[in-house]
Structures are given as structure tokens and as C-alpha cells.
Chain A
């Protein structure tokens, strides 16, 4: 476990000293700021974070892969993976360390966005339920998106390929609800259920449904499991 910590700590230091992460942070805050203020121009504005959350999950389709693409792809490119895999470190410890690092940076971004919520609480009296639930949903979604990105970074030694594939998977998950109408029968039901939006919208409406929490936790577990397996399989290639 100490080795997982060491991996995480090293990656966190890299996040906070690399331009990529700051650019991602800047884009995230600038765009979510835009979404947040969009409805405030209405004659009767609503004190809500729903536009912020809706925008944030779309933005994260592009930004989560930018945060994760480096994690293992660069180790393969630099050859440092050779040291990592010949050190007495278990594969899951490597994946756990890398994941925790990306999660930490993500949570810092989330914390910065509390600014919007604070504004609402200071200048209006919003319904707190949807805000708390929305944040829970956003953190779960972001964590899942990072797990997807980590898997694709494990698969390739090219950061661009890793990022693009992750975006593809996240887009597919985002639009999967459409299968409800267009694909008939059980297949449509299953693909539709895999969609992110159906599960996320409940949160931003203030509903904390166990099904939705289980959905996101399963997505995270599934992609982390695949990441560990992919890292293991590198030895066999």
C-alpha cells in the first residue's frame, strides 16, 4: 500500500507542476462559469446549479481524458514502465496510485467550483438538496470518467490515442440513452440503462437513488478492473 501511496504522491506532484493540468482547470472553471451565469440573465432567475452540472458533465467528456492520458501512456513511452513492472509492486497498486492521483486533482477542481454554490447561498436561498445531490452525482460521474481514461492510457503508449479513445467511450456512454427509442427490445433497454444521463439527471434533481450510486460505482470498478488486467497483460505482449 505504501508503494501505491508513493505512486499517487509522485503523480500528484506532476499534476500540480504541469501546464496541462492547469489548462484543464482553467477551461473547466471558465466554461462552467459560463453555464452557471447563463440563466441568471432571466427576468426571474432560478437559484439552481442544474445548468452548471449539465455543462460540467459534457465538459468532462473532453477534460477527463486530458487529465488521465499521461498516466501510463507516458511510462510506456519513456520506458519507465520497465522499472515499474520489475519493481516489487503489484499491478493493482500501480493502478490505484495513478487513479488516486487523478481523483485528487479532480476533487480540487470540484472544490474550486464550490464558489458558484457559495454565491447562490449568499445572494439567494436555493434549495440545498439538489445542490448536495448534484455534487455527489458530479463527483461520481467524474470518478467514472477518470477510470475510463485510465484504462485507455494503460492500453496505449500514445497519449493522443489514449485520450481520443477515452472521449469516444465517454461520448458513447453519454448518448447511450438514445438507444431506448431507436433500438427495440431488451438490447435497447440494456444499452439505454448504460447511459450516463439517465442516472445523472436524478442527482441534479435532488434525488439520491441507490440504483444510480451503484451504477456509477460499478462503472468505476469495471474500468479499474480492466485497467489492472490490461497492465498485467502488457507482460504477455
Chain B
């Protein structure tokens, strides 16, 4: 295990930010923390990177305790905090050289790594630009550049795609995926598709606790059980509603009349695809099927379902 966290608990004053968080990350794995704002993602990452010690519990990085053997552990980490910390009056080059020195890189290797990193992060034309004059997306790239400069074994990225435009988001994701080939990456996000695209394994964290841990594939399968369908039917609602409710596999139906457009939201049972059954039922009754679609779940729904799952 590259990263091993055991019983992490952190209190800000009397308030627990995280409680009894346990996880391990294998070498070369990309682990995603998924959770809403304030769930404890940043706190966990700050503890992993040695920025602050946990109130209880331990984290080891490549076998080094982040509190007891902090310096050794810190040598192995590249970190991109949520608000990219940059010295705005330095040039991109100057900043990266400074960060390299702080990370203990010898001057020669800084020089050769610098051009690699600048290429990887596509900062080539901006090496001499003052950081304060860069756009948000470019600042983010500089932030990633400093995190990977010293080729750390562990890369910790806190919300790496927040606040940048969609094209840059795609580029950043591609970059992370590439880095994940030979480095251990821990990243946080509140965007579900992003996490499932990038990560080998996902930890869903809510209110300071891990509520689910699995591969994105398994998680998606779990979540299909609570998929919903939206159907628009041309026909008298009073008759349609009981018919829809009567279909095998339907848990619940809610009806909305929107200026004569009757839409029904159907909550389906686990693992059932009811689209065929629904369309048949509507047509055999002589009504018209005007629309039928599966509704993607919002993050809130996922948390709701996951937290209730846990309690059952």
C-alpha cells in the first residue's frame, strides 16, 4: 500500500470534520474522493500531505508516518490545494524553480525537469509571464506543474478541475489519467462522471464519513437500482396512473400536469429496465406515448440513496 490511513478523525474546535476514515491506496492507483462541499475531502487531503496532523488516527505514505516521519513523507508528495497557491509576482519559470528547490531537487535536474513539465502542462509560451497576469485555467496548469515537478510518488489533487473552462477540464483530465499510469494519485471532486472517468476506485464521503467505497463500475451498477424514468403520456391521468403503478417492477409513480402535458416520474426497482413494459402498457390501452427517458441521478440523490443504503 502506498497510502494507508487508519482511523482518521479531525476536529475543528468541537466540530468533527472527518470521523474514523480508513482507506488504503495501492501503488499506481487513482483514488477519487467524491462528496459534496464540506464533506471532509480537503481535510483528509491536508492530513495526507502533512499540512496538519489528524486529531486521532495515522496515515503512512510509502511506510512513512506523515506526523512522526513528516519530512520523509513530504518528500514523496506533490500537492495541488483547492485554491491554487501561487506567488502572483513571480514568473512561471521563477515560481517552478523555487518550488523545485523547496522540494530538494538539485539545480541541474530542476532545469531538465522544468522543460518537461512545461511541455506536459502546455505552458511553453508562458514561461516568462508573471503568474498574476495568467488566466485561471493557466494558473491551474502552473499549480499542477509544481505538483508534478519533483516526480512525487504520491500526487494529491484537491478539486483539480474546479473553475476552469470545459476545454481545459478535458485537458486536465487527460493529464491526470496519464500521470496515473506510474504515480499514485488521490483526487477529490464533486462531479460524479469525472470521478468515474478517471479513478480506479472511488470513496464517497459525506459528513466526514466514508459512506461507500468501490470501483466506479460497481458503484454505477449499485446506483442503477434507483434509476428513474420520466414518461409523458397522452391520456386521462386518472386512468394512466393506476396502470403505470400496476406494472411489475414499479415502486412509485408521481404525476405532474403541466398545461395539459401529463408527465409521470417512475421510480423503478433494482436492476430492472422497464422501458419496454411501460411503452407496451401505454400503447395497449390506446394512449399515446409522447416521451420516455431515463433520468440521470443528481449527486444529492446518490448521497441520499447511499446513506439510506448504509443504514439499512
CB distance from B146 to the nearest CB of A (A): 7
Binds B, one of A27-35, A80-88, A110-118: A80-88
Q: B287 at the A/B interface (Cβ < 8 Å)?
A: no
Q: B77 at the A/B interface (Cβ < 8 Å)?
A: yes
Q: A17-B89, A90-B71 are in contact. Are A82 and B101 (CB under 8 A)?
A: no
Nearest residue, chain A, Cβ from B80: A83
Binds A, one of B48-56, B159-167, B184-192, B293-301: B48-56
Residues of B within 8 A of A17 (CB): 89
Contact of B85 among A2, A80, A88 (CB under 8 A): A80
Q: In whole angstroms, how far apart are the Cα atoms of A85 and B103 in the complex?
A: 11
Q: B138 at the A/B interface (Cβ < 8 Å)?
A: no
CB distance from B135 to the nearest CB of A (A): 18
Total number of A residues with any Cβ neighbor in B under 8 Å: 23
Q: B75 at the A/B interface (Cβ < 8 Å)?
A: yes
Q: A86-B49, A87-B74, A88-B104 are in contact. Are A80 and B87 (CB under 8 A)?
A: yes
C-beta contact mask, A83-121 vs B, less than 8 Å → 1, else 0? 111111110000000000000000000000000000000
Q: A17-B89, A82-B51, A83-B146 are in contact. Are A88 and B75 (CB under 8 A)?
A: yes
Contact of B53 among A79, A83, A88, A236 (CB under 8 A): A236
| Interface of B: prevailing SS | loop
Residues of A within 8 A of B83 (CB): 79
Residues of A within 8 A of B304 (CB): none
Q: A3-B104, A88-B104 are in contact. Are A78 and B89 (CB under 8 A)?
A: no
C-beta contact mask, A68-84 vs B, less than 8 Å → 1, else 0? 00000000001111111
Q: In whole angstroms, how far apart are the Cα atoms of A14 and B94 in the complex?
A: 12
Residues of A within 8 A of B79 (CB): 82-83, 86
C-beta contact mask, A213-237 vs B, less than 8 Å → 1, else 0? 0000000000000000000000111
Q: In whole angstroms, how far apart are the Cα atoms of A105 and B103 in the complex?
A: 26
Q: A6 at the A/B interface (Cβ < 8 Å)?
A: yes
C-beta contact mask, B75-96 vs A, less than 8 Å → 1, else 0? 1010101010111111000000
Q: A10 at the A/B interface (Cβ < 8 Å)?
A: yes
Are B71 and A82 in contact, with the CB atoms below 8 A?
Answer: no
Q: In whole angstroms, how far apart are the Cα atoms of A84 and B79 in the complex?
A: 11
Which of A2, A82, A84, A85 is the most central at the interface, judged by chain B CB atoms within 10 Å of its CB? A82
Q: B99 at the A/B interface (Cβ < 8 Å)?
A: yes
CB distance from A78 to the nearest CB of B (A): 6
Residues of B within 8 A of A83 (CB): 79, 81, 85, 99, 102, 146
Q: B126 at the A/B interface (Cβ < 8 Å)?
A: no
Q: In whole angstroms, how far apart are the Cα atoms of A86 and B79 in the complex?
A: 8
Nearest residue, chain A, Cβ from B73: A88
Q: B303 at the A/B interface (Cβ < 8 Å)?
A: no
Nearest residue, chain B, Cβ from A74: B87
Q: In whole angstroms, how far apart are the Cα atoms of A7 and B87 in the complex?
A: 13
Are B98 and A6 in contact, with the CB atoms below 8 A?
Answer: yes
Given A7-B102, A87-B99, A236-B52, 19 more A-B residue pairs with CB atoms under 8 Å apart are A3-B104, A6-B98, A10-B98, A78-B85, A79-B83, A80-B85, A83-B79, A85-B50, A86-B49, A86-B51, A86-B74, A86-B79, A87-B74, A87-B102, A88-B72, A88-B75, A235-B52, A235-B53, A236-B53
Interface residues of B (CB under 8 A from A): 46, 49-53, 71-72, 74-75, 77, 79, 81, 83, 85-90, 98-99, 101-104, 146
